[in-house]
Amino acid sequence: MTLRNTLGKQEFLSLFDIGHDTLNAWIEEEWLIPSGTASELSFSDIDIARARLIRDLQVDFGVNDEGVGMILHLVDQIYGMRTTLIALRQAVQTTSG
C-alpha cells in the first residue's frame, strides 16, 4: 500500500548530520541494524525513525551514550511486548469470535 523508502549511507549521514565514525559506533553498539552489505548499507523507514529517536535522546534530552544504549534496550523490549500483545489480541478475537 505504501511505497517503501530506503536511504543510502551518504544520504543517511547528511540527513542526520553525523560522520562515519558516529554511524559506525551506532551500528557497532547495535543501536542501528541497517540492511545491505557493509560497503552498501541501506536504511529503511524504521531505521530512520529509530535514528531520529536516538538524536532526540541525545540532543533534546541530553542523554549520554550509556543512557541511550540502556533506553534503546528497554524500548526494544516494550515494543517486542507490544507486538506480541497485538498478536495475542488478534488471536483471542479470532478464536473466540
Partner 1 sequence: MKDPYDIIGVSHTASAAELQKAYRKLAKKLHPDLNPGNAEAEEKFKEIAGAYDLLGDAEKRKKFDSGEIDAAGAERPHHKYYRDYASAESASPYADNSSFAEFMESEGGFAELLRRGARAQTDRRGHDLEFRLPIEFVESIAGGSKRLTLPDGGTLDVTIPPGIAQGQVLRLRGKGAPGSGKGGFGDALIEVEIRPDRLLTRQGDDIHLEWPVTLAEAVLGARIRVPTSTGAVTMAVPKGSNTGTMLRLKGRGAPRPAGGHGDQFVKLRVMLPKEPNAELEAFVSGWESGKSYDPREEVAP
What is the SS3 string spanning 28-46? HCCCCCCEEECCEEEEEHH
In the complex, the smallest distance separating the C-beta of residue 42 from partner 1, rounded to whole angstroms, is: 12
Alpha carbons 52 and 32: distance in angstroms, whole number: 11
Residue with cell 515494543: 79
- Which of the 8 DSSP states describes residue 31? S
Binding mask 27-66 for partner 1 (x = CB under 8 A): ------x-x---------xx--xx-xx--x---xxx----
Under rule CB under 8 A, residue 84 binds partner 1: yes
Binding residues for partner 1, rule: CB under 8 A, are 1-2, 33, 35, 45-46, 49-50, 52-53, 56, 60-62, 71, 73, 75-84, 86-88, 90-92, 94-95
